Structure 1
């Protein structure tokens, strides 16, 4: 009996992405609004923002996502207190299943957060256009993109949407299986506990030994866990957290660089500036100027 192939059904298929953004906005940023003939979603990674979808106002907090259907007017503004970090992705998709996303505002799971992080990661390796420019209307490809990056963006985005649909359907009697995280359950629990510990002690100077002792984990296991999750060691990850918070404080514009350095537990403003440049590619002054320049563009 001859073999017969099975043509795989695609409930959600995306072939065109319009924009991929990761924004670090000032606390007083305001976007007057727009509408366009493709889908867009906004997810709050840090802080909170006020949005208008159609004619309805909403406040989105960390870990929440909002979808705007084609031709729906939408605007956003920061609340004047907290400098928000946002993921914004727009794309074309005409699948009937997209009805699930009309007017959708919901909390996201760790799986969804991971998939969005992977999209941003791949975009950095294949898109030459800065991901933090809110005025981008056309993305340029990198001349030497990592192999398969664009395809992975498509796959991760489709997987994200499928996961969100399944989450919406879970309340039914025959809920489909949720997309599994690539992390083992035990590792995920340990990782979450340690990252929470690092965030709680972000103003301190921590050593690997102190982190291990406080979280009852061996040094090699700790380093292996962060290599798998963040592609770096735990101390580098902790330094990134500090610099991310420093960026937020700079954007909120309530403290000078010396005060921020002291607040984050750096021994000197010079060491703070060196680490800031090492991890962000620019000095604190250059970062502040670049953020203001983007915000002031017409």
Structure 2
């Protein structure tokens, strides 16, 4: 990180000015220079004051009071007046820059060389994830076995709860809760669950460009706090709807992958997930689904709509509701609609037909039959009972 030339730290080397009238150019030579240099091996040293005016592009100035001194890099902001006897050169921050080097006619220049040269460090990506092809949350029952597949994509599997066994090109791995693994491209991999408990996990299929994927592929990572939070944020964002959400999801996933590449540079005890803050994604997923159903209860809600919205398979959705609510998603939705209809009848603001329409039932006859089966009384009879009371 470095300062601007407008900061107080630059005063020891020179100052900034805004207008050409601030300097008298009658006795000055104006040299226009075009450069793309990001490696500085030579330095200007003038015995008289000099001036720098950037014409095009963005630039920094590398400067010191001594050739053996501590060189500082400043982002050039406005026009510069450089004090005499400074050692400096201009660094191109963009593809190329054009600047005026303004010097006295009777100048005396020394050209000094840096050994080793100064190299401007640009902030450029070394990992690129151009696309996430698919993501889904899965809940598998005991004794589940997947015979295996290979494909020309990377695949990340994060185990939320339970234990998942996987085999990659003949090598066995075991993932427990909060573990994840990345399958490389075209690697044959199988998955299975033991017979004593179910397993829930998040799968993400993606493309990636990087220098060395062997650093993160085919090894089990246990999520410490930073990595766990990144996965949790990704899981939350894939089930909401906001403008530019695709960009945010890709950004979230970039963080996950970067955390994996950084994994070995952090201590083993670094930022462990505390037991107090641990929560299965399954709980959060169910909470999100129930909240969505509640908001959409006045509209027809299909199982396929829920699966698409929350990136979960139909069988996993059934298991999620069965394990946590001991009911099916369809029955939960219908029961919630009927409970809502009962409250609306009690309010006595709408007719039975209007209530059926407002809650998304296909017909008044279907609504009446469902209400009667559930409460053992028809909607109209229930309304009469409330009215009599």
Q: What is the CA–CA distance in structure 2 between the aligned matches of 1:282 and 1:9, rounded to whole Å?
A: 52
- Following superposition, the deviation at residue 23 of structure 1 comes to 0.9
Give 1:265-280 correspondences, 5 Å limit: none
Q: Larger C-alpha radius of gyration, 1 or 2?
A: 2
Structure 2 counterpart SS, 1:146: coil
Give 1:232-247 correspondences, 5 Å limit: none
Q: Indicate the residue corresponding to 1:37 in structure 2.
A: 152
- Following superposition, the deviation at residue 43 of structure 1 comes to 1.4
Residue 81 of structure 1, aligned match among 196, 203, 206: 196
Q: Which moved more, 1:98-107 or 1:33-42?
A: 98-107
Residue 246 of structure 2, aligned match among 139, 142, 150: 150
Q: Indicate the residue corresponding to 1:214 in structure 2.
A: none
Post-superposition CA distance 1:121-163 (Å, at most 9, x none): 22223xxxxxxxxxxxxxxxxxxx4112111111111111111
Change (3 A) 1:282 1:101: farther
Q: Indicate the residue corresponding to 2:125 in structure 1.
A: 10
Change (3 A) 1:27 1:283: farther
Query: Does residue 283 of structure 1 match 2:283?
Result: no
Q: What is the CA–CA distance in structure 1 between the aligned matches of 2:136 and 2:264, rounded to whole Å?
A: 25
Give the strand-richer structure, 1 or 2.
2
Query: Does residue 168 of structure 1 match 2:264?
Result: yes
- Following superposition, the deviation at residue 25 of structure 1 comes to 1.4
RMSD of aligned residue pairs (Cα, Å): 4.0
TM-score (norm 1): 0.53
Q: What is the CA–CA distance in structure 2 between the aligned matches of 1:155 and 1:96, rounded to whole Å?
A: 19
Give 1:59-70 correspondences, 5 Å limit: 59-70=174-185
Residue 142 of structure 2, aligned match among 27, 42, 52: 27
Unaligned runs of 5+ in 1: 126-144, 172-177, 200-229, 231-246, 262-271, 287-298
Unaligned runs of 5+ in 2: 1-52, 60-92, 95-121, 281-287, 289-314, 336-389
Post-superposition CA distance 1:36-65 (Å, at most 9, x none): 111111111100011111111222111111
Q: What is the CA–CA distance in structure 1 between the aligned matches of 2:248 and 2:257, rounded to whole Å?
A: 14
- Following superposition, the deviation at residue 97 of structure 1 comes to 3.9
Structure 2 counterpart SS, 1:99: helix
Asked which structure has the greater RCO (Cα within 8 Å, sep 6+), the reply is 1
Q: What is the CA–CA distance in structure 2 between the aligned matches of 1:282 and 1:13, rounded to whole Å?
A: 44
Q: Is the 8 A contact 2:179 2:220 kept in 1?
A: yes
Structure 2 counterpart SS, 1:13: strand
TM-score (norm 2): 0.41
The alignment of Structure 1 onto Structure 2 pairs a total of residues equal to: 187
Structure 1 segments (4+ residues) deviating >2 Å: 1-8, 280-286
Structure 2 counterpart SS, 1:19: strand
